[in-house]
Homo-oligomer: A and B are copies of this chain.
Amino acid sequence: MVELYEAMSSLRAVRRLKSDPIPAAIMARVLQAAAWAPTGGNVQPFRIVVVKSREKLEKIEAWYQQEWARYTVGMRSAVDLSDNDNPTVRTLKAGDYLANHLHDVPALLVFCFNPEHMAITDAGLDRPSVVGGGSVYTAVQNTMLACRAEGLGCVLTTLLCFREAEMKSLLGIPPEWGTCAHIPIGYPILRGHGPISRRPVNKLAYFDSWGDAEI
């Protein structure tokens, strides 16, 4: 039983996960949290493939390692990798750990969505569309908060979108569905969830006009 604000305020990205299995009752509660999420028209245009197969995770890990290496080239060259006090270095090392251990996480939650079942109101605008995410990432956030409540580490990743074709083939995902979140979950090796660092609210919220912070 975790209080809502306590869960939200201590939900960290946890990338070092034990391989210990997750009891079925706990996994069921995590998935139930996803199912409770609001979606446009209550259509629930998402599905979750819970990957536990070691064989499949090994294939996914190989793809993830390639994308993680590619994604972090610039970050690596911009820092002194021996400086463990640098937050970027710490994130890189935690990410490297995840990339090298994705094969033995107890579960990888692959969130799928069907754009045909969504009213994507910003599809015609001259900027990147995000509104389809409004019917999936609500469930993703519920899932991660549930992990926090259950003592499970988790982290939202999206790099495997670069390998969506391979992922869909591996998991048998139908043509009309896409993938948009890949969340490894498991018990934390280190301290797990805890304090988080965020901007103060008055840098994020304005009243009545952009830039007018009143709180």
Interface residues of A (CB under 8 A from B): 1-5, 7-9, 11, 13, 24, 27-29, 31-38, 40, 42, 44, 46-53, 56, 71, 112-113, 115, 118-123, 125, 127-134, 136-138, 140-142, 144-146, 149, 156, 158-159, 161-162, 164, 171-174, 178, 180-181, 196-201, 204-211, 215
Q: Is there an interface contact between B209 and A36, defined as CB atoms closer than 8 Å?
A: no
> Closest B-chain residue to A155, C-beta based?
B38
Q: Is there an interface contact between A134 and B137, defined as CB atoms closer than 8 Å?
A: yes
Of the listed residues A29, A52, A130, the one surrounded by the most CB atoms of chain B closer than 10 A to its CB is: A130
What's the minimum C-beta distance from A205 to chain B, rounded to whole angstroms?
4
- Residues in B with CB closer than 8 Å to A149 are 4-5
Q: A8-B37, A8-B145, A112-B210 are in contact. List 13 more A-B contacts (CB 8 A).
A: A4-B4, A24-B215, A27-B215, A28-B201, A31-B205, A49-B206, A115-B128, A122-B178, A125-B164, A128-B129, A128-B178, A130-B132, A138-B140
Q: Is there an interface contact between B142 and A137, defined as CB atoms closer than 8 Å?
A: no
- Residues in B with CB closer than 8 Å to A42 are 13, 197-198
What's the minimum C-beta distance from A134 to chain B, rounded to whole angstroms?
5
Bound CA–CA A32/B204 (angstroms): 9
Q: Is there an interface contact between A161 and B128, defined as CB atoms closer than 8 Å?
A: no
Q: Is there an interface contact between B5 and A3, defined as CB atoms closer than 8 Å?
A: no
Shortest 8 CB-CB distances between A and B: which pairs? A133-B133, A137-B137, A130-B132, A141-B141, A130-B133, A121-B161, A122-B161, A172-B210
Q: Is there an interface contact between B201 and A35, defined as CB atoms closer than 8 Å?
A: yes
Q: Is there an interface contact between A13 and B38, defined as CB atoms closer than 8 Å?
A: yes
What's the minimum C-beta distance from A45 to chain B, rounded to whole angstroms?
10
